[in-house]
Every structure is written in C-alpha cells, then in structure tokens.
A and B are shown apart, each in its own frame.
Chain A
Amino acid sequence: MKLLTLNFLTCAIKTCKSSPASFPLHPRDAELEVVEADLNLAFLKNILPRLMWDELRVIASELGLPALPETPPSKADLSIPSPTAPAPATTLQLDPEAIDAPENPPVVESDVEEETPSQTAVDLHRILLETCITEGKLVCGNCGHEYAVKEGVANFLLPGHLV
C-alpha cells in the first residue's frame, strides 16, 4: 500500500473517531518496496494543499526514510524553470484521445506545459506513490489497535466485540 493512502485513513473503531491521535496510523515492523510509477507533475502540484505534512513527516521518520523538510515544498519547488531543460516526461503530454473528441474539448491546464520535474518533485513522488508497505502493521495512536498489512493489502476488519 502506498504511503499517500495513509493520508486518507484512520482507525476503524468508532470511539477513536473523535480523538486526534487516531490519525495518522503509525506503521510498525513494516517491509517496504519501491514500485516505480509515472510521475504526474500537475498532480503533485495540486495535491500539496491536501497533504497532512506534519503527519507525513512522522510516518516517514517512523519508517526510517530520509527526514522530510519541516514545511511542505511550494508548487514552484516542483519544476525546473530553465528554458534549456530537456524534453518533458511523456506523462505530461495531453491525452490524444481527448484532443480528437470534438464534443470533449481538452481542458486547458497551464501547468501541463513544457516543464521538467525537479529533484524535489521526484523525491515527493517517490515518498507518496512509489514507496509501498508490503508487510507489517498500522497502529492507532489512540487505542493501540494493530491493523495487519499482508501482501500490500491493509486489513481494517475488526473483531466482533470492537465494531
């Protein structure tokens, strides 16, 4: 499971919902795997306001990953402004199918133009979408309940007495 997924998960136990300590869930005994994925620069820029950065820093440190900066990067930090930059990654090209369909004119996205991801973008992409927990546990900071991750699938089903 990807680390960005943890940005949207919390403890499944009802009585934990009101406690701020139930988010984020804390990885324990985690085995990590890097699974390469296409970098979507527009996505990375737009997701920044949705990231719970302090919590992400905690997760990264608990996993023994390199420390994240105290403050999240800005949109500008994610691309290289140089006009001599090499050709952009193919992920940034407009979808040819959408261009061909006259009833669906392509959405104009100013930041999908000729831009090269910076090292910061590559690193952020690596943390959010390429670093996966394959085995281990996710632990609630409020009640201490442990949710198992097996073969990359997290199990949030609760025993009957906790539902």
Chain B
Amino acid sequence: MLPTPSTSHVCFDRVYEPAEDSFLLLDTISAASETAFLHNRFSQASSSTPPLILEVGVGSGVVLAFVAGNARNILGRNDALTLGTDINRFACQAASETVHKATKDHGPSVFLDIVNGDLASSIREQSVDVFIFNPPYVPAKLPDFSHHDNYNAVPTGHKSTSFEQDSYLLELSYAGGEEGMVVTNRMLGQLPRILNCVRGVAYLLLCAQNKPEEVKQRIRNWGTGWMAETVGRSGKTAGWEKLHIVRIWKEPSP
C-alpha cells in the first residue's frame, strides 16, 4: 500500500471530497500492471527527460498528490513534474496545499502549480506525458455558468462563501450534462492536442451511464494507433456506482 495524501486542510463544503471514484484512480494507477506499463514508458532508462503529469479538475488534489508523492513507485523516477487545473479557484488553492504537502521533504517529484482554468485550454500543445481526469460524470443538468466569476471567490465585503455559491461549486465537480458526457467530450476534444504523441498516456474515469464501450470505440476512431482500454473497474458485485478507468494512448505506427 502506498500512502494516501492528507486532505485534512480542505473545506469539503465547496471542494469535492475524495470518494470511491478518487480511490479507484489511486488503486488503478498504482496497480502492478499499470506501474509496469508506466515504468516501461517513463523510467530513467527509457527516457531521460522528466515527464509532465497533468491532472484536470484536481478538486482536493488527492489524486495528483498521490502520483507526486509516489512517483518513484508509479513512474520509476524521482524527477516527474506535476501540474493541475480546476475551474474552482478554491479547489486550486486546496489542491496546491495537498500536492505541496505530499512532495515537500525531498519528495520524488517536482510540483509546479494548480491553475484556475477550463479543462486543459491553457496547456501548451504536445506537452503532457501523463494525463489524469476524474470528470463530472453524473448525468445531471449542467450548472448555470453565468455567475461563475462571482461564485469563484469570496464575495467582497463577506468573510466566507454563501450556501448557493458552495452548492454551485460542488455541482461543477459532479454534474456532467446529458449522459454525464458533456464535459468529458469537450476534454476528449482537447486531448490529442496536449498529449505528447510519442509517450503520452491518459487515464479517464467513466461510469456505466457514460457508455464506456462507446466512448472507447470513438477514441479508437481518432486515427491510426489510438488505443483505449479499461484498466480498472469497481462496482462489479456491490455498490451502486459502476466505474471504469480507461487508459488512452497511441501505439507507434508500424
């Protein structure tokens, strides 16, 4: 068992609290089969340049901090770079502390920043080596973004956020629109641009209502070499959520 990062400083009234989905990502990425795949791609022996790990929608930061703090076991090296984004500014600040805590005291990776943004829209093309996304996957109406600017900070003249504001910020973390796929589809549209076309690999969490088999087939249809396979799942026998972790990568052309 690798250590799970501490999120005791995070206020879960307005930032998504680590739950079954987050822990399935941790378990999958640190499973022997995945670390073997990742070592093969990224260990010092296979490539000398440090990989950039990007997590979109970091929330509390527990997943990115886990990879950052256990990079030696997961990637086979001590110099990976970690970067995150979130649409919720409070999540950016919370996750920054989570990852910082997990990597200080000579951690096996180098933490950059968490930037406040829409998915990966501000990320330079071809720069991402390991991409992680636990999207808002619940089939539920998307929140009304028109108040985002006001809701994304403590209101002027107030000491803390309002109840409406907190509800909105939490909705952002789970509501995924029709079939729970509206936000994920936008992210998949950006992925080939930001993912390194040689060694890039992405981990995407889906639930059964997202129709994972159809999603994987759509990714394979992106073009020659694109691969998408389920590498982790939960809820087969118990639990109401049936979750998949899909690995997306590109095989070199023959």
Contacts and interface: CB of A to CB of B under 8 A. Distances in A.
Nearest to B152: A157
Interface stretch (B13-21, B108-116, B246-254): B108-116
A65 B194 CA distance: 30
Given A23-B124, A40-B110, A154 B118 contact: no
B175 interface: no
B112 A2 contact: yes
B89 interface: yes
A1 B50 contact: no
A157 B87 contact: yes
Contact of B117 (A47, A101, A156): A156
B209 interface: no
Chain A contact-residue range equals 35 or more
A109 interface: yes
Given A10-B125, A12-B122, A107-B77, A1 B43 contact: no
Chain B contact-residue range equals 35 or more
A12 B121 contact: yes
Q: Which of A4, A8, A17, A107 has the most CB of B within 10 A?
A: A8
Nearest to A93: B106
A70 interface: no
A17 B121 CA distance: 10
Nearest to B118: A157
Contacts of B93: 151, 153
A50 interface: yes
Contacts of B218: none
B116 A5 contact: no
B186 to A, nearest CB: 10
A9 interface: yes
Contacts of A151: 93
Interface in A7-29: 7-12, 14, 17, 23
Given A38-B106, A42-B78, A50 B115 contact: no
A163 interface: yes
Contacts of B49: 46-47, 49-50
B79 interface: yes
A95 interface: yes
A11 B122 contact: yes
A12 B50 CA distance: 24
Interface string A87-131: 000110101001001001001010010000000000000000100
B113 A5 contact: yes
Interface in B85-143: 85, 87, 89, 92-93, 96, 104, 106, 108, 110, 112-118, 121-125, 127
Interface of A: 1-2, 4-5, 7-12, 14, 17, 23, 38, 40, 42-43, 46-47, 49-50, 90-91, 93, 95, 98, 101, 104, 107, 109, 112, 129, 147, 151-158, 160, 163
Given A5-B113, A5-B115, 10 more contacts: A7-B124, A8-B112, A9-B124, A10-B123, A43-B78, A47-B49, A95-B106, A153-B93, A154-B116, A156-B121
The 9 closest A-B pairs by CB, nearest first: A156-B117, A43-B79, A156-B122, A12-B121, A12-B122, A5-B112, A5-B113, A1-B113, A155-B116
